[in-house]
Amino acid sequence: MFKNKIIILILLVFTSGCAFTPKANYEVVGKKSVQIQYDDAVFKEKIKQNQELIYKQNKIKRLEPGPDDLLEVGEQITMSIRWWGVEAGKTIITVKDLVEFNGRKAYHLEALAQTSSVVDLVFKVRDVHESFIDAEDLYTLLYVRNASEGRHRYYEFYNFDYKNKKTKFKEIIRNQEKEYGLPEKMTDIISVGYWFRYKDLKVGDSHRAIVHSDQKNYEITFHVRERNEFKDETKPSVFVIEPEVRKGDKIYTKGKGKVLISDNLDRLPLLAQMKVVFAGSLNILLESKRNIYNSKGISK
C-alpha cells in the first residue's frame, strides 16, 4: 500500500500543478528555494548506463528538430517539491532529443528526481527516468526507470510493442524478464504530463489517460474545472484541473488535488498541491524553464 501511495505522488509530480485557491497562491510560483546540489556523479553514471543499453539495443538515431515539431527539443523545467514549507526535493525534466526509434519519429524525455539532504536522512531518492514517446500522439514506446529509493534499487525497462499488443519487461538488477498484455496505448509518469499539456482544453471537458508504472495500469482522468484570469496582464490565464487517479475500482486522488496549468502556448505546470492524509499538503512549484541548447531561460 505504501508503495502505491509513492507511485501516486510521483504521478502528480510529473503531471504537475495544483492549487486549491489559485488566485491567492499564484504569487508563490518562482519563490527562491533552498539550493539542492544535484548528485551529479550518481546521475551521470545512471544516464551513461541507460544510453549504452537503450541506444545499442534499439539502434536509435538522432534527428534534426524542425519548426513544426510538437515539443520543444531542449526544453527543461525545474520543479521544487515542498512539504510543510520545507523543500523536500527537486525534479528536472528535459526534452533531450528528437530521434528515430524503431523506424518511428520519437522524443527522448529525461527526468531526474532527488530528495533534499534533510529528507535523505529518512528516505533518500536518486532517480533517473527516461521515456521515448511517439512524436505525433505522445504515447510511450519505451520507458526506463533507473532508481535508488531508500534501500531499494530498480533498473527497469518497459518496451511497449503495440503491433503485437505486448509489454516486454526487463529488470536488470534482479535478472527478470516477462511479457504481458498491452490493452491500449500507454503513457508513463513522464510522458503523461506532455500528453496532457497538448490537449485542447475547455472548461467542462475530461481527458483520460492510462499510465503504466510498476507493471500496473493507472487510469487518470483530468477534469477541466475552471479557467481563471488575472488583472495583471503579464500573467497568463490558468486552467484549473482536477486529476482523478484510479486503479480498478479504487480511486486514489478524488478531491485531493487540482492542477494549475498556464493557458498559453507553453501550457506550463505552474503549481501543485496535494492533500496527504495525516501529513498536510505536498506542494510542487515551477521554479524555472529554459532551453539547454540555446541557453535561454525564464524564472517563473
Report yes or no on 220 lying in a domain.
yes
The alpha carbon dihedral of 46, 49, 52, 57 has a sign of negative
Q: Check residue 143 and give left, alpha or beta (phi > 0: left; psi -120 to 50: alpha).
A: beta
Residue tagged 475547455 (cell numbers)? 202
- What does the pLDDT read at residue 284? 85
Task: Please give the Cα distance from 78 to 113 (Å, whole number).
Answer: 10
Query: What pLDDT score was predicted for residue 276?
Result: 67
State the pLDDT at residue 46: 93
Is residue 280 in some structural domain?
yes
What's the pTM? 0.84
pLDDT (0 to 100) of residue 24: 28
Is 277 among the domain residues?
yes
Is 296 domain-assigned?
no
Say which residue the cell 524525455 belongs to. Answer: 109
Residue 106: which domain range? 2-290
Quote the pLDDT of residue 278. Answer: 58
C-alpha cell at 292: 539547454
174: in domain: yes
Report residue 258 as a C-alpha cell: 487540482
> Residues with Cβ < 8 Å from 296, sequence gap 6 or more?
290
- Spans of the chain, pLDDT less than 50: 1-8, 10, 12-35, 298-300
Does 297 map to a domain? no
Residue 95 inside a domain? The answer is: yes
pLDDT tens per residue, range 276-295: 665 667 788 888 899 999 86
| pLDDT tens, residue by residue, 179-218 | 999 989 999 999 998 998 888 899 999 999 999 988 989 9
Determine the pLDDT at residue 40.
Answer: 80
- The reply to whether 90 falls in a domain is yes
Domain count, the chain: 1
